[in-house]
Chains A and B, each alone.
Chain A
Amino acid sequence: MQIKTLVWREIFERKSQLATSFLAILLGITVIVSIKNITYYSEKAVAREMDSLGANVLVLPKSATLQDYYAADMQGDTIPEEYVTQLAISDLEGLDNLSPKLSMPVELQGRTFTLTGILPKSEFQAKAAWQGAGIFSRPMGCGAMPTLPFASGDKKTLVRQRVIENLDNDEALVGADVASALSLKEGDKLTLLGQSFGVTAVLPQTGTIDDSRIFAHLHRVQEISGKGPVINAIEIVGCCQEISKGLVQKINSLLPDAKVVTITQIADAQIKMNQLMSRLSLIFLVIIVFVGGAGIANDMYANVFERRREIGTLMALGANSFLILRIFMLKALLLGLVGGVCGYALGTFLALTLGPKLAGVPVLPMPMLALWAVLISVGLALAASYFPARRAAKLDPCATFQEI
């Protein structure tokens, strides 16, 4: 005979009573896990969609305005390319993508287009001094973009992500309008200000100024323009949570001679969407804690009432109040453990099955949620059972005799 024998046997003796408590925990955890799981992948999907709207933070020269940026950032003023390095090696969190740009007008067949120099991501990573420190050594926060399987190697990702992985010195990417006006297609040759480029990709139509741009390697454009190692702007895709926590101010402190602006509509939309998801999960969690907790407490009180003769008998045989408390708390612990594990399994199954149908996003199991599920269910079961267990421990053993 051990305490676990007493608890285990009692659980199976009153299976139907236990079923109610178990169901309360199971359903509660199932709902929490499935919502959390679907929400997580929905947030990722929303973040991807939001990313397609473009950068949400801009670093511009002090004299530039947002209008200059929307007018193809061809303002005369520049900022040093060194700023990109400073951002890259900083310990700022939430910088998901950096895209430095230098733009200049070019004439082709009597029409004016914008030649924009960009820096491929591979060049950030190739610099040994930046490895092991700075933003690329950290996991990316809000954006799922760097891990998108279809992203790597596709030059057209520039449209969505504002950065591309690789770009050679003699390569050029042309916007849809440029391609249409000049009848360019992939593989064609292009001569800009006397320099020869091969058209690597024709970018899809975006309806923005980008359609009239020709993209080339930043250092090549700097060379052509003769301006040296400078840029017009740094586009940043910042994590919306970090933006709300003051990312812009932090960049401002880091680069006091530049102007840092947020494209508020984009950032706000991201923040609001994520807040909505978080609040939804929280509301369900609160409901489940109250409803589930009340259900468990009610069942436990009923269990104590039903077992008062047994408790009195144990006390008459010499059990102290702490042992009685332990018997009920151990039962709650088992209930919480089993409910948490089963709730996680069922919740994950529901998320995987219903997630794609309800939210239209692919959902994968999240092992981290198992830990949370067990912690919440055990915590809930223990908290809800504490007062009934204490009542049992304080029961008058005389009840054993008087209620015959």
Chain B
Amino acid sequence: MLRMENVTKRYKHRGQPVTALDGANLTIGQGDFVAVVGPSGSGKRTLLLMLGGMLSPTSGRVLFEDQSIYDLNADDRAMLRKQKVGFVFQTFNLVPYLTALENVEVPLYLAGLDSSIQQDRAESLLERVGLGDRMDHKPSELSVGQQQRVALARMLANDPSVILADEPTGNLDPETSRQIICFFEEVNREGKTIVIVTHDPRAAQRAKRILRLVDGSIISGTADWEELHVA
């Protein structure tokens, strides 16, 4: 489904060369649930951005269903994201002036669906995440947990095959984090491939596979958090 072949990303920060990813090789199969862990600055977010077609590598190839995504132009990569990728952000990134319903409608609008279809689908997704009674609320009128659930509904809007989540529980209390991870497990069981970047061991442990990144290198791929830390 997703593959990285000898991917390196270098850039300059305040004149100093930084290697964010260093010869990374990775294969993520369909239906996999991968947690990417590692210390700050280890390259986790860079890896996620590259898998989502938003950051081109300095060298190497990133493949999505055997298509080298950085051989596509920017608009074609946007099309790929629109059709096949669902994003979740640590700070939810909801559009502040739109209601919960309208926020979920955004990817459906981008996919070119009619207004009535957008509304029906957005309503059913918000019902699914338990926000049927908050559809007309703006993000500022929702709790943090509710905002993340709106973001989850938005993530599923175009029925993506891959979900990329950046610290999805980073701003949440333990109970809400648990609910969110349960939701990820639920959609993973439906066959969606999930990659989450996280610092939260409880979230990582619920993944099928954990990747540890240190200084831009993937040093292990295991299913066990304890084993990972011992290593």
Contacts and interface: CB of A to CB of B under 8 A. Distances in A.
Interface of B is mostly: helix
Interface string B52-65: 10110000000000
Task: Pick the 4 closest A-B CB pairs, nearest first.
Answer: A318-B82, A13-B97, A1-B105, A1-B109
The bracket for how many chain A residues form the interface is 20 to 34
Interface in B77-126: 78-79, 81-83, 85, 87, 89-91, 93, 95-98, 102, 105-111, 115, 118
Contact of B55 (A320, A398, A404): A398
Contact of B95 (A310, A318, A321, A398): A310
Contacts, number: 87
Contacts of A398: 49, 54-55
Contacts of B106: 1, 6, 314, 317
Nearest to B118: A1
A298 interface: no
Interface residues of B, number: 36
Contacts of A9: 97-98, 102
A401 interface: yes
A400 interface: yes
Nearest to B166: A401
Given A1-B108, A9-B98, A317 B81 contact: yes
Interface string A1-39: 111011001101100000000000000000000000000
Contacts of A401: 45, 48-49, 89, 166
A316 B85 CA distance: 9
Interface of A is mostly: helix
B93 A309 contact: yes
Contact of A318 (B45, B91, B107): B107
A224 B101 CA distance: 95
B79 A2 contact: no
B142 interface: no
Interface string B111-151: 10001001000000000000000000000000000000000
A166 interface: no
A66 interface: no
A317 B102 contact: no
Interface of B: 45, 48-49, 52, 54-55, 74-75, 78-79, 81-83, 85, 87, 89-91, 93, 95-98, 102, 105-111, 115, 118, 154, 158, 166
11 contacts: A1-B106, A5-B102, A310-B95, A313-B87, A313-B89, A318-B79, A318-B85, A318-B158, A319-B110, A323-B110, A401-B166
A12 B87 contact: no
A309 B79 CA distance: 19
B115 A316 contact: no
Given A1-B115, A323-B110, A398-B54, A317 B87 contact: yes
A397 interface: yes
A404 B89 contact: yes
Contacts of B102: 1, 5, 9
Nearest to A317: B107
B97 A318 contact: no
A10 B96 CA distance: 9
A163 interface: no
Nearest to B158: A318
